[in-house]
Amino acid sequence: MKECKIGVYVCNCGTNIAKVVNVEEVVESLGKMDGVVVARSYKYMCSNPGQEMIVQDIKNLGLNRVVVAACSPRMHEPTFRKALENAGINPYFLEMANIREQCSWVHDDAIEATEKARVLTSAAVRRVKYHEPLEKRSVPMCPATLVLGGGVAGLAAALELGDAGQQVYLVERENRLGGNVGRVDLTAPYLDSARDLLTEFITRANQNPKITVMIQSKLVELGGYVGNFQARVEDAQGDIIELAVGSVVVCTGYKEFDASRIKSLAYGWLPNVITSFELEGMIRKGKILTKEGNVPQYVALIHCVGSRSLEYHPYCSRVCCMTALKYAHEIKSAIPKSYVSDVYIDMHAFGKGCEDFYRRSTEAKTMFLMYEKGHPPRIREAGPDDDCGMFIWVKEQLSGEEIEIPADLVVLMVGMEPREDSEAVAHLVNISRDKHGWFIESHPKLDPVATTTDGVFIAGACSSPKDIPDTVAQARAAAARILAKIAKGEIWADAVYAEVDEDLCSGCRVCNELCPYTAVEYDKVKKRSHVIYAMCKACGACVAACPSGAIKARHFTDQQIFAQIEGVLPWHSNHVS
Amino acid sequence: MAFEPRIVGFLCNWCSYTGADLAGTSRVKYPFNVRIIRVMCSARIDPTFILKALSDGADGVLVCGCHPGDCHYVEGNYKAMRRYALLKKTLRSLGVEEDRVRLEWVSASEGVRFGEVIADMTEKIRKLGPNRIKAELILDKAER
């Protein structure tokens, strides 16, 4: 092995690391390690001057290995690899020590945290000595895209791609495009017609020759990898259609909360307790009536049904507050003599134009009643002598009183929840879900439409409750990410994959069966197995299983991991030579 | 000086390492005793990694992967689970206590749970005391 000249760079991350970890102590200790030529600290290693420091050291001091002790490698490994590349050395000669997410942010004791940071960094130094130069693989990028879900998100993504002249397969389970927005009359806060918004999108999608719309169809299998996926879609006739696509956008949306789960709201038991979507249906038909066919005099809107509750969903569903205000407007204009009460916890009016809409709503004759989280309203039937059909008990916060308000029609503002098939979809496209069942983004702030599976994107309410503007923005963002990949024409796949040393391979074929991607192939003539690199996803299952030690996990070799184990157990050297 | 357990954690990149990162971004506090080594999948964790950690002085070894059914590589965690069962059997015969080597499923959203696992494991190993088999394994290694 060529002599290792290692540079160690410890990041303060402003005060994120430095306020707990004594960075200078780490630098001093690491500077004494075998093979370390230079050890430095900097306030933000990921900044341009921070990266430039590394580049200059590589050039001036002839460094051939770099250790950066900073945030999680999941955050900035690509950044620093790029810096190594810019300085003219192989990007895989980098190793990161995670001293922020897994040290300074989880520990308070400065002495222990400093020691842990020192140990993690020294383990990285030991590991990096065994790093090998790796070359990335270039594979062609298939320009076609599979869009799952024909709601407003799927339509926006498909149009952005189709308008750019790229082939799109828009796959929708139901027999119509439009998704949940297609069940809505007007949108908040500008009271535009949802139908107008959708008609424009749907017409353009149907007329665009680059967009193949497949309704009553579903994805049944997805194989391959970024740039080269093979999708199998079952169409309305039950036929399987094979599609070659380079990218996938998941826009499978949400479903509404089942209000019958909350017994005190009497949904499904009292006929005039309805959900927001049922009211939309009435409004679209032009008649707001009770089940008995009467015009309701008292209408109540109840917020946060299933949302912001420890018992059901702790999160806010984001669109219901403004939708409730919209209903107040719509009910008042349809039945001018009606009394509308709006029963809420807090009014969430964060979107553009929403606070103004709230202000205008308070000026109209709507009665606002604030209830406490954990003390939801209760609905009961009224007696024969009352002039209303029901009463709603509310522990009203602003007056501090427990009151009952009359109602002929109660509208439950049901929140959003993941669809029942979200687990199946996540498995099909190999992405993760959070504890509620929403799809997880690659990074919640910096990479909100990508996922941990390269080439698979998520947009709209399938990742968390969203309104239409946010949904459309995400869908177009996902399309932009895909168009950038298409413009490059090729994908530089990670150089990390498994490799068989055919001299060591005994041809036992244990690895063949283990590979979930059938990437290990047996050569009957040579009587040896080998890995088809393009299909390998680098899990390393075959490596750990090989009885001959013939398979190497590039960048996760036994030697590299052994060195790291020795490094994290610092008194190792006292015992073993 | 009071005994402070040294725990080596082997975490899969997609669920558990991400979950440990989430513990950080959520500022969950847990004992400093764990030192994490990242692998792509729990199926990459060769039993020799665990033996190596024990022989090099770890008082505990934690293996974390995605929950069953949620593996980024379809079924790697099942492979890890099977290997773990075999390894545990071997470790028992070597006299390594049950609680020293532990397998846990930690998803990318379970930052809080990751902290709880570390706290619980640290306490259990603190009660067990230092890894006694360490010296014997080193001796065995030297003879080999």
DSSP annotation string for A296-336: PSEEEEEEEESSS-SSS--S--SSHHHHHHHHHHHHHHHST
Is residue A528 over pLDDT 90?
Answer: yes
A315 CB within 8 Å of a chain B CB = no
Are A267 and A408 contained in the same domain? yes
Q: What is the pLDDT of residue A576?
A: 35
Residue that the structure tokens 């929840």 belong to: A417
Please, which residues 53-72 of chain B have a Cβ atom closer than 8 Å to chain A?
53, 55-58, 66, 69-70, 72
- What is chain A's mean pLDDT, rounded? 95
In a domain, A567, yes or no: no
Is residue A577 over pLDDT 50?
Answer: no
B86 CB within 8 Å of a chain A CB = no
In a domain, A560, yes or no: no
Are A411 and A267 contained in the same domain? yes
In a domain, A37, yes or no: yes
Beta strand ranges found along A215-357 (DSSP E)? 218-225, 228-234, 240-245, 247-250, 255-256, 273-275, 298-305, 339-344
Q: Do residue A572 and residue B40 have CB atoms under 8 angstroms apart?
A: no
pTM (predicted TM-score): 0.81
Q: Do residue B45 and residue A566 have CB atoms under 8 angstroms apart?
A: no
Are A196 and A153 contained in the same domain? yes
Q: What is the pLDDT of residue A573?
A: 40
The per-residue b/e assignment along B128-139, b for 16 or more CB within 10 angstroms, e otherwise, is beebebbeebee
Is residue A374 over pLDDT 90?
Answer: no
B102 CB within 8 Å of a chain A CB = no
Is residue A74 over pLDDT 90?
Answer: yes
Q: CA nearest A431 in B: which residue?
A: B72
Residue that the structure tokens 């049922």 belong to: A278
pLDDT tens for chain B, 144 residues long, are: 689 999 999 999 999 999 999 999 999 999 999 999 999 999 999 999 999 999 899 999 999 999 988 888 888 999 999 999 999 999 999 888 989 999 999 999 999 999 999 999 999 999 999 987 666 666 666 776
**CATH number for B101:** 3.40.50
In a domain, B1, yes or no: no
Are A44 and A114 contained in the same domain? yes
Q: What is the pLDDT of residue A575?
A: 36
In a domain, B90, yes or no: yes
Min Cα–Cα distance to chain B from A440, Å: 9
Is residue A561 over pLDDT 50?
Answer: yes
- Contact residues on chain A for B84, CB-CB shorter than 8 A: none
Is residue A155 over pLDDT 80?
Answer: yes
A545 alpha-carbon distance from chain centroid: 32
Residue from the list B21, B46, B79 with its beta carbon closest to the beta carbon of A72: B21
For residue B59, give its domain range: 7-143
Distance CA A415, CA A305 (A): 6
Q: Give the lowest-confidence range in A343-347, A417-421, B2-6.
A: B2-6
Q: H-helix or E-strand containing A30?
A: helix A23-31
For residue A49, give its domain range: 6-136
Backbone φ/ψ region at A518: left (φ over 0), alpha (ψ -120 to 50), beta: left
Distance CA B117, CA B67 (A): 14
A538 CB within 8 Å of a chain B CB = yes
Q: Do residue B49 and residue A434 have CB atoms under 8 angstroms apart?
A: no
Are A220 and A150 contained in the same domain? yes
Mean pLDDT value across residues A39-59: 97
Please, which residues 491-520 of chain A have a Cβ atom closer than 8 Å to chain B?
496, 514, 516
**CB B105, CB B72: distance < 8 Å:** no
Are A16 and A73 contained in the same domain? yes
A565 CB within 8 Å of a chain B CB = yes
- Contact residues on chain A for B18, CB-CB shorter than 8 A: 74, 452
**CB A529, CB A521: distance < 8 Å:** yes
pLDDT digits (tens, 9 = 90+) for A487-513: 999 988 778 999 999 999 999 999 999
Q: Do residue A541 and residue B79 have CB atoms under 8 angstroms apart?
A: yes
A434 CB within 8 Å of a chain B CB = yes
Number of domains in chain A: 4
Report how far apart, in Å, the C-alpha atoms of A234 and of each of A238, A241, A313, A425, A455 are. 6, 6, 33, 14, 21
**CATH number for A230:** 3.50.50.60
Are A331 and A231 contained in the same domain? no
Distance CA A558, CA B88 (A): 21
In a domain, A221, yes or no: yes
Is residue A401 over pLDDT 60?
Answer: yes
A33 CB within 8 Å of a chain B CB = no
**Residue A567: which pLDDT band, with cuts at 50, 70 and 90?**
very high
**CB A30, CB A9: distance < 8 Å:** no
**Residue A543: which pLDDT band, with cuts at 50, 70 and 90?**
very high
Number of domains in chain B: 1
Mean pLDDT value across residues A269-282: 97
Encoded tokens for B113: 């749970």
Are A173 and A232 contained in the same domain? yes
Are A487 and A505 contained in the same domain? no
Report how far apart, in Å, the C-alpha atoms of B27 and of each of A105, A106, A218, A374, B66 are. 5, 6, 41, 27, 22
Mean pLDDT value across residues A224-234: 93
Mean pLDDT value across residues A526-544: 91
Mean pLDDT value across residues A148-155: 98
Q: What is the pLDDT of residue A1?
A: 56
Q: Do residue A107 and residue B29 have CB atoms under 8 angstroms apart?
A: yes
Are A29 and A161 contained in the same domain? no
- Contact residues on chain A for B115, CB-CB shorter than 8 A: 106
Please report the number of interchain residue pairs, chain A to chain B, with beta-carbon separation below 8 angstroms: 149
Domain final residue, candidates A458, A491, A524: A491
Q: What is the pLDDT of residue B138?
A: 61
